[in-house]
Amino acid sequence: MAGEALRQKAREKATGEASTEVATAEDKPASIAQFLDQLAPQLQRALPRHMSGDRLARIALTQVRLQPKLAACNPHSFAGALLTAAQLGLEPHVNGEAYLVPYGRECQLIIGYQGYAKLFWQHPLARHLDAQTVFEKDEFDWALGLNPYLTHKPARGDRGKPIYYYAVVALTTGASEFVVLTPEEVKELRGKEGPNGGIKDPMRWMERKTPLRQLAKLIPKSPSLALALEADERVGSELHARLPMAGELPPAAEQPETQDASVPGGVDLATGEYDPTTESDYQPEGATA
């Protein structure tokens, strides 16, 4: 009888442990897709009222499918980047507003030039915004000091090589500000000189982002623009730690180790813009395995 009682207790203990293991396994999402589904309440809370959490989740899932390396990112890093984009009211990979970039097991958030422009126009003092490329045959003159000025008259036809990039803003108060950079200064600010990643960009919008970003530091900023300057090009784990709802996020499943890289794939190091089509594992819309 005593032996049978001990065996019964052993069976109950084993069953209890198994149940606990099953429950723990069920609590952890097996993929980014399941993690995003659990993340839905926090995602909707982070978004401005006029934006849809379901739409942002679908956009994120589409990018996971198009960029399989995103699925190998730590889910909390992925959530940190996505929720920060949501706080800013930016849709990743839509109209160049922002990008989710796989960086080993990290997910990096990159704010695009369209994202900076969108956030600038949210400020009640915003009146004018422009960013241009100056070529060697253009008429261009500028000066700083107590009486700053900038004039630019583009040449017709062949304008030669780029010699400057600039961004300028004007406010409803009558104040204005501008930043002018040489191509060498743009590369230095980017940290490294790298290839353009095969991105077709005849209007050179990606280079214009750098003076635009520098200019944003000098002007009145909406809370969202200030957050964008702080969050731009940070990895998701850093952003996740700063989220007010970080303690409410669902548990993350273990992800397989992946080979890290010195720079995120598909990123133009000279400009900071991202083009997923340059990734080796990129799958276009409608592509079949």
Q: State pLDDT tens for residues 96-119.
A: 899 999 988 999 999 988 999 999
Domain final residue, candidates 221, 241, 263 = 221
Position 54 confidence tier, pLDDT thresholds 50, 70, 90: confident
Answer yes or no: do 44 and 179 share one domain: no
**203/80 same-domain check:** no
71, part of any domain: yes
pLDDT band at residue 264 under the 50/70/90 scheme: low
pTM: 0.69
The boundaries of the domain holding residue 187 are: 121-221
> What pLDDT digit, counting tens, does each position of 138-197 carry?
999 999 999 999 999 999 999 999 999 999 999 999 999 999 999 999 988 876 433 343
Same domain, 83 and 129: no
Cβ contact 228:119 at 8 Å: yes
Residue 110, domain member (yes or no): yes
Q: How many domains does the chain have?
A: 2
Give 90's contacts (C-beta < 8 A, 6+ positions apart): 97, 98, 111, 115, 118, 119, 228
